[in-house]
Structure 1
Amino acid sequence: MVISEDLLWDTADKGTPTVQRLLRTAVTAGCAALFVLALWAYSDATWAACAAAAYVLAEIAYRVWDQRRLVEVRIVVGEADGRAKLRLRQAGGRTTEHDPHQVARVLIIRDNVVDSAKLRLRLHGKRVLFGRPGRPPAVTTWRRTCPRAHIRERNAWWGMPGVPD
């Protein structure tokens, strides 16, 4: 097991783009409101109001999901017993520490177009933790750190844009 403090997963965007999301939601809601007002006089436009409400609810659900995504996975040495632990930091600021033997599966999905990857991490008896896109990590470090985990990497399923297959 690796004892030194290594960085297993790191993303460039660790913050939450709150202003951008709120601006996008406000512009979309405003355009939908103008569309509803323009059509309301001539026909029944309740479907447009329902679509705008569904969009706002979907944006809220995405924000809640995005706050739980991993932005950093680091190997740290525990203070009490000196054993290595995985420190998982989420986008919302929550940090948890887990034993590396609790990791059941690690899937790294490499992007075909740009030099980035996505992470899916499953702990024993828990849900899947998703990582924000980041630089592709070294798989050998994951294998040394989590010896019981099923570690796999694959390329994304889409091809290069604009290049015929």
Structure 2
Amino acid sequence: LKVKPLRCQVVQINGLNHDLHRRVSCLDFLRKHSVDITFIQESQARSVDMQLFANKFYYTAASASLKSKSKRSLIVLKHNPSLNIVGKYESEDGRISYVKTIIAGHKFVFISIYALSLYDPNFFSKFISVLTQIHDYSFIIGANMNAFINLTLDKSAHISTSTQIRSS
């Protein structure tokens, strides 16, 4: 059995919520670069817009969100008849979504994570709880963690806030 490797690409795309043209351009980019799996965090798209992030080549496999458009974590997959989705999870807070799959007899879970820049003491314990429920799968994670282990490496702020210190 020969298995074609899946292709993931890390790209930052701003403004997906503002214009249908940008979503179409993003999907065209994914197709041009033969990307099979896309992890998107902080998309700020509304639930009603999720069907717009799909075409004949791609679909939204999992999408976690609040009712507002402020947070969203989603996973977009290339249509692939041999990719068997056996389950999915979409957190109510918009921060964690995943799809479970079996590829060539091996169990994988694709996880998209969005951690807010404001410290939430419950987020990481919830995240660990979610991971323990799927411990028998190999993890492939795309994440926007908004935290630095070493605050001296954070070039975005000149002064460490109490929120940053608690999250590290």
**TM above 0.5:** no
What range is the shorter-chain TM-score in? under 0.3
State the structure with more CA Rg.
1
Higher helix share: 1
Q: Which has the higher contact order (CA 8 A, sep 6+)?
A: 1
